[in-house]
Structures are given as structure tokens and as C-alpha cells.
Amino acid sequence: MTQQIWFITGSQHLYGPETLKQVAANAETISRALNADASIPVEIVFKPIVTTPDEIRVACTAASGDTNCIGLITWMHTFSPAKMWINGLSNLTKPICHLHTQFNRDIPWDTIDMDFMNLNQSAHGGREYGHILTRMRIQRKVVVGHWEDPAVRTQLADWSAVALGWHEMQHLKVVRFGDNMRFVSVTDGDKVEAERVFGMSVNTHGVGDLVAVINEASDAQIDALCEVYAEEYELAKGAARHDSLREAARIEIGLRRFLEEGGYGAYTNTFEDLHGMEQLPGLPTQRLMAEGYGFGAEGDWKHAALVRVLKVMSQGKSGGTSFMEDYTYHFDPAGARCLGSHMLEICPSIAASKPRCEIHELGIGGKADPVRLVFNGAEGQAINASLVDLGNRFRFLVNEVESVAIEQDMPKLPVARVLWDAKPDLQTAAEAWIQAGGAHHTAFSFDVSANQIEMLSEMAGVECVFIDEKTEMRAFKQELRLGEMYHGIRGL
Ligand code: MN
């Protein structure tokens, strides 16, 4: 069943039945137009207008209990006294987008009369409604403008995509093969609290459970998958006949089966815990990420989840999203850059061109040479997003970056890589990121915007900190201090 966003319009009985009939007709016209808009990635469902406290409570309770409903777009066509909304909103568990629009774009200067004024009261009806949401401390998105305006449609499309991601996060199952990399802090955290706040469950399986499934892969399955590798990638010399390639195929077959059978949307592993596995999964993890799975290395379950959620939020878009690590700096006075990469596991959805499949020794872990895809990242505006556990709460952190062309060949670097210019500049961005306690791992995305991470954080009720063109350190540090206070008071 398609996931739905319900379009709910508020009014009241002050104006007589004719006006309410017109309100309902206009609301249906708008919701149908939004549903027909291909940029909005969910079904928009028109619901009967609500005009009394009971109708509002019934609509909100129904939305909360409906498994297909992932959010509400609410619109106050007329005035809808907001005390009527208290009971309903108290029972609502789905995110809200308040569309502050008006059916008529323009004021009909020559014909406007009091009937028109009474029918088109969003300007004050929306404020009354917004007041009660603010008073009830309900976070929501407010979109202002005419419903046919492309800028309004874009905001609704972005918000709908985030609602899909939030729905995914609340139902996500993350499996960890092995524990966290020993002694590492930021990849660890409170999995119980993560389930309470985000809904996602994070549980472990011994690597042996996975190895048992990997070992069930048949030779015929492995042969077939090796053929797919040869078709989809440029195989490096000798790779096609290399035992490591067959081993990578065996791991991929087992890993995919394990994830499918367990209903997992994301996973972690660690090179420190690979008992019974011949090599650290490189190519298999790259391919599974490209299919939409979330992944976090070294036991990093928070970024495994975040990669998955961002992939859901970016469905239908053309670019890509990957697990990422800030790896190495280029401190050129003409413009500092960061080279992003990982030992192996960068998603080919962000590649600039057809990846090359190579087999090389891994410097750590003491296992057989793993197979990996090697490529340069595409160019364009992107974000690095992080989710960290600060002990008393979670924090999202986002840095806007520009992925730039990689001019050099780097013939001795056998991993996928991306080169970016961070906003406002690398020095400020890194200083701010470090002050904010951001992870060395991130979810890197061409498709998801910083605004969308903000919407996600608001749906989750979690802090979000931004590093962008306007970031200035003194104000940024003050923002962090204020966040300590605000989120401390809220108890999140
Ligand atoms: Mn790492």
C-alpha cells in the first residue's frame, strides 16, 4: 500500500452551509493538485473538512492509528478557533506540515466583498492555528505561499520526503555484526535511548550467524553474481579470475539473504570481528548501499541508520547518498579541501563515472585482500550529516559542502574518494564540527538538503546544528551553549 499524507482542512460553522461546501470543494481541488504533482513522493489523500472539536479529534486519532498515514498537511481555509484543536493535536502522533495558503492567489480588487473576505481567511485563521501548536510545543513545518507556486510545491515535496524518512526511522531494524571498534567513542552510544527517541531498533548478531548464511551460497549463485560484476564494473586486470572476487560474491549473497530474512534496513560490521569471514566486505557493502541499505563501519549503528533514512528521503532523485568519513586534508592556501573516503565502503551511487573493481591488500585487520569499487565522487552541492550521542541527548549536525572535481589520478590510492570544499571554509567548518562533537563518520548526500535534516530533527524532537555559508565561530559556540540549556530544559 502506498504511504499517504492526509490533507486536513479546518473551518467552523459560523458562516453557514454554503460557505462550508465551498471550503470543502476548494480543499479537494488543492489536495488533488498536490496528489497529481509528480515531485511529491507520496499519495496526498483528501479528508473531509473538520469544523468541530469532535471532528478534529476523530481525524487526528484516525491519522495516528493508520499505518499508511505518515503525516498531515493541515490548512485553515477560514478561521478555525484553535481551542477546538487541542484535544485532537494531543492525540496526534504523526508529523504536521501547516500549509499557510489561500485558494485565490490574488485579491479580486473589483469584486471583493465581505463574502470573499469570510471565505478566504487563511491569513488570520492560520495564525490562530499556529498559536495553539506553538503553545502546545508541537514542532511542525510551516509552508507559506500560493498552493500553485513551484516554491511551495518544492517545500511540500521536500517535507513529504522527510516524512517518508521519519516513518522509515521509526520502523528501522539495524543489525550489528559484532560490536563497536574497540575504544572508539563516537560510534558507540545509547541504543535504548535511540529506540525511545527514533523508534529504530539496534540489535546484534554474532558474526558466526552471518558466516553460516554466507557459507550456504552455491557455486552457481556465485558464478552468476561474478558475471554481474563483470557487466556492471570495469574489472581490474586479473580480478575476474581472482579467488577474492568469488569470495566477495559469496559474502554478498549471504549478507543480502541475512538482511532480507531479518527485515533489516541497515547494518554495521567491524574489521576487528570477522571470525570465519575471509575478507572484510567491501564490494558487497558498496553494492548493498547502492540498493538502498544503510551501512556504518566499525560498529557505527547511528550512521548506518542515518544512511538508510537519507536513502529513503532521496528516493526518485538522481544523485546519491553514501556512508562517508573525513579522511585527509589538503591545506592549500589557495583553497583547503577535504578528501572523503573509507577503507572500502563508499556507495557507488555517488560516483562520477563507471566504478573500477579492484583487489588489494587491506592495511589492517589481517584478512584476505578485499574486493572494492574504486571511483571519484561526482561534483555538486552536497551535505555531510552526522548523528551523535551527547550523553543526555542526540544531536544532528549538518555541514553544507561542495564536491569538486578531482584533478589528480592518485594511482596508488585503491579506494573510492570524494573531494569537497566545506562551507563556509574548511577551517571554520572543521572547527565548528569539532566544537559540536560531530562524528568522523557521516552520511554524505547530493540529494538531501540541510533544510530536510532540520525537518527530520524537528519530527524527532532532537537538536540540529548547522554549519553553512553563514557560520561564524563566536555565534556558533554561543548557539551550542544555548542548545545545552534549551535541550536540558526539554529533557531530550
Ligand atoms: Mn571509519
Neighbours of ion ligand 1 (CB under 5 A): 297-298, 325
Q: How far, in Å, is the centroid of ligand 1 from the Cα of 387?
A: 14
Q: Which residues contact 197 (CB under 8 A, 6 or more apart)?
A: 394, 460, 461, 462, 492
Q: How far, in Å, is the centroid of ligand 1 from the Cα of 326?
A: 9
What is the pTM assigned to this prediction? 0.97
Q: How far, in Å, is the centroid of ligand 1 from the Cα of 405?
A: 23
210-240 pLDDT per residue, tens: 999 999 999 999 999 999 999 999 998 888 7
Q: How far, in Å, is the centroid of ligand 1 from the Cα of 325?
A: 6
* Residue 301: closest CA among 205, 234, 431, 222: 205
Q: Phi and psi dihedrals of 292, rounded to 5? A: 120, -5
- Calculate the CA 101 to chain-centre distance: 27
Classify 265 as helix, strand or coil.
coil
Q: How far, in Å, is the centroid of ligand 1 from the Cα of 11?
A: 53
Q: How far, in Å, is the centroid of ligand 1 from the Cα of 40?
A: 35
pLDDT of residue 90: 98
Q: Which three cell numbers stand for residue 86?
A: 487541542
Q: How far, in Å, is the centroid of ligand 1 from the Cα of 435?
A: 20
DSSP track, 187-234: T---HHHHHHHH--EEEEE-HHHHHHHHTT--HHHHHHHHHHHHHHSE
Q: How far, in Å, is the centroid of ligand 1 from the Cα of 421?
A: 20
85-123 pLDDT per residue, tens: 999 999 999 999 999 999 999 999 999 999 999 999 999
Residues in the chain: 492
Q: How far, in Å, is the centroid of ligand 1 from the Cα of 364?
A: 12
366-423 pLDDT per residue, tens: 788 899 999 999 999 999 999 999 999 999 999 999 999 999 999 999 999 999 999 9
Q: How far, in Å, is the centroid of ligand 1 from the Cα of 187?
A: 9
The proportion of the chain whose per-residue pLDDT surpasses 90, expressed as a percent, equals 93
Q: How far, in Å, is the centroid of ligand 1 from the Cα of 179?
A: 14
Q: How far, in Å, is the centroid of ligand 1 from the Cα of 298?
A: 6
